[in-house]
Structure 1
Amino acid sequence: MTPQSDEDEVWRQIVASFNDTAERDSADQPWPDSENVPAEPSRRVVKPTEDPDSGSGAGEFARERYAGEAGDEDDDDGEAPAEEEDGYTPPPPPPLPKVDVTTKIAWGALFGGPAYLLVAAMAKWPLEGWAVILAVAAFIGGFVVLVVRMGDGPPNDSGWDDGAVV
């Protein structure tokens, strides 16, 4: 037999046994029973025993009883006790950067020129030739000013290392 035919035979066996169910009992499992995952994992709460800033006992933790364990006084009616989680509260965002007058004028021209043309067309105002040219020039000028002022270099506070530069 050639190596290719051996591989073909093994492949046929794999395909033929694809839909077969595994009939193993727990004695045939390749891992110990202690590593089997329970159907519903128990929940536990870990709280520090003392204030971490006090210096004594820092890093020591006391493990609370598992929720739903026998002898739990809080669980009289069969419901799980409500967890007291604070959740994550993000810090307030930093203030927006101050925009200089040139940038404000450029943004106003970028949106103001087309907005004027749109409003004039919707309201059926008569458009003078100089007004149309001025609106288009404001749009193009605002765009050019914003692109020129954009800059393509790294920020000034990035330090000496630019990271991965390709």
Structure 2
Amino acid sequence: MSRDDDQTWAELIDSFHAAPSDGDQPWPAAEELGPDDGLEEGVRPDDFRDASVTLGSLTERGAAPDPPVEAPASGGIDDAAAEEAANHFVPPVPAPIPRGDRIQRLAWAAVIAPPIALIIVAIMSWRPSDEIVLFAVVAFVAGFVTLVARMRGHHPNDPDDGAVI
């Protein structure tokens, strides 16, 4: 940085920390409110700058706060609990998980079992024969292809289009 940049930066930082003088306004003069600038009767422009405006001064102008909500006179804890229980959502019992047919179960077994078996073999530091590794890979690929091939496709007559954008 050059000397001018350092001096400009120091002046900028000093201006942030300097206290404003009495004549300075932190807003443009066009935004200054006059005594008759469309304010309600009884409201002074100073009310917006002064933190001493209280709810008491608001109620004097007619802007009363909402009345407190009272509990029902005849209701007790049991009535409130009964009302909450009546309005509480209870989801329906979910449908049972479909078991699938024999081919689908075998395909899932072919996708899950070979990787688990090969991980166990690797952990135990065993050296399986090449035929066993080939069988595991072929079983996994065949199971995966079977599951993908048997997926339900989108039918044009299906009323459920899902999330169509």
TM-score calculated relative to the size of structure 2 = 0.53
Secondary structure, counterpart of 2:115 in structure 1: helix
The 1:125–1:84 alpha-carbon spacing in structure 2 relative to 1, beyond 3 Å, is same
2:113 alignment counterpart: 112
In structure 2, list runs of 5 or more residues that go unmatched.
1-26, 34-46
**Gap change, CA 1:20 and 1:128, over 3 Å in 2:** farther
- Equivalences for 1:113-132 in 2 at 5 Å? 113-132=114-133
User: Larger deviation: 103-112 or 85-94?
Assistant: 85-94
Q: Which has the higher helix share?
A: 2
Aligned CA RMSD, in angstroms, stands at 3.6
Q: Give the equivalent residue in structure 2 for 1:96.
A: 97
Cα 1:123–1:81 change in 2 (3 A) is same
Greater relative CO, 1 or 2 (CA 8 Å, sep 6+): 2
Cα 1:155–1:25 shift into 2, 3 Å: same
Separation in 1, partners of 2:144, 2:32:
65
Corresponding residue pairs, total: 118
Q: Which amino acid aligns with 2:146?
A: V
Percent pairwise identity: 30
- How far apart, CA to CA, are the structure 2 residues paired with 1:147 and 1:140? 11
* Structure 1 letter corresponding to 2:139: A
Identify which of 12, 15, 25 aligns with 2:58. Answer: 25
- Structure 2: distance between partners of 1:66 and 1:112: 65
The structure having more radius of gyration, on CA atoms, is 2
Q: How do 1:23-102 residues align onto structure 2 when only pairs under 5 Å count?
A: 23=53, 24-30=57-63, 33=64, 36-38=66-68, 41-44=69-72, 65=73, 67=75, 81-82=77-78, 83-85=80-82, 86=85, 87-102=88-103
CA distance in 2, matches of 1:144, 1:120: 25
Match in the other structure for 2:136: 135
